[in-house]
C-alpha cells in the first residue's frame, strides 16, 4: 500500500519506527487544516504558520504519548489548540512585540468584488477574534473543520453539552457584532 493510502494510525506506527517519509505524509495531510485553525484562532497568517510548525514539532516529539484508540486528528487539534493558547498568552505578556503579528488589514488591491470579499472576511475575522478562547475554538472547529459536537468535545476535553452551549453563545455574539459591522443587509442573520 502507498503512503498516501495508509490510515493515520499506520503512519504514526511507521514514524515511531523511524520512517521520515511517513511524517512528511502526515504533514502533507494536515498542514493546511492546522495552519488555518491557527490562523482563525490568532488572526495572523505569519503567527499561524509559526504555530503550525511548532505543532508538528510537538507531534514528532510527543508521538510516544499518542494512544492509538484516540483519533489522530483529535489529538493533533488538541495540540494545535494548546499551541494557539500558548501564543495568545505570549502576546498578553509581550504586547509591544506582538503588535507586529497582530491581525492584518490587507491593502485594497484587486477587483471591487475581491476587495469587498476581503473586507467582509476581515470583519468576520475581527468579530471572531472578540470571542472568548473557548467559544472561538468550538466555533472554528465546528464551522471551518466540520467537526461534530462530540469531536469538538474530545479536542477540548469537555462535555458535548458544554460545546453546544459555547457554540450557541458564540453564534449569538457573532450575529450581534456582524449586524453592527456589516450593516442593514445582514439584519436577518
Partner 1 sequence: MNQNDDKLRALLRQWRDIEPRGNFEANVWRQIRTAAAERRERVGLIELIGRLVWQPAWSVAAALVVAVLVGVWGGVATAPRQTDTTKAELQFLAAGTLSGSYLQMGAQQSR
d(CA 48, CA 28): 16
**Under 8 Å between Cβ of 147 and 161:** no
Shortest CB 96 distance to partner 1, Å: 25
Q: Please name the residues in contact with 91: beta carbons below 8 A apart, sequence gap of 6 or more.
A: 98, 101
Q: Should residue 174 be labelled a site residue for partner 1 when binding is judged by CB under 8 A?
A: yes
What cell numbers appear for 46 in the block?
A: 505569519
Residue 124's nearest CA partner among 88, 170, 164, 87 is: 170
Binding mask 31-50 for partner 1 (x = CB under 8 A): xx--xx--xx----x--xx-
Binding mask 58-87 for partner 1 (x = CB under 8 A): --xx--------------------------
Residues that bind partner 1 (CB under 8 A): 24, 27-28, 31-32, 35-36, 39-40, 45, 48-49, 52-54, 56-57, 60-61, 117, 120-121, 124-125, 128, 143-144, 171, 174-175, 178, 182, 186, 188-189
Amino acid at each position: 500500500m502507498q503512503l498516501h493510502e495508509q490510515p493515520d494510525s499506520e503512519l504514526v506506527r511507521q514514524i515511531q519506527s523511524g520512517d521520515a517519509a511517513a511524517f512528511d505524509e502526515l504533514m502533507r495531510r494536515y498542514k493546511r487544516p492546522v495552519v488555518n485553525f491557527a490562523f482563525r484562532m490568532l488572526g495572523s497568517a505569519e503567527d499561524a504558520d509559526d504555530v503550525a510548525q511548532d505543532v508538528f514539532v510537538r507531534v514528532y516529539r510527543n508521538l510516544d504519548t499518542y494512544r492509538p484508540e484516540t483519533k489522530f486528528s483529535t489529538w493533533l487539534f488538541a495540540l494545535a489548540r494548546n499551541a494557539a493558547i500558548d501564543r495568545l498568552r505570549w502576546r498578553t505578556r509581550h504586547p509591544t512585540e506582538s503588535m507586529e503579528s497582530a491581525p492584518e488589514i490587507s491593502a485594497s488591491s484587486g477587483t471591487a468584488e475581491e476587495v469587498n470579499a476581503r473586507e467582509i472576511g476581515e470583519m468576520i475575522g475581527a468579530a471572531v477574534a472578540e470571542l472568548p478562547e473557548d467559544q472561538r475554538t468550538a466555533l472554528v472547529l465546528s464551522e471551518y473543520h466540520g467537526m461534530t459536537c462530540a469531536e469538538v468535545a474530545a479536542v477540548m476535553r469537555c462535555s458535548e453539552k458544554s460545546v453546544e452551549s459555547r457554540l450557541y453563545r458564540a453564534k449569538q455574539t457573532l450575529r450581534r457584532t456582524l449586524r453592527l459591522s456589516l450593516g442593514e443587509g445582514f439584519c436577518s442573520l
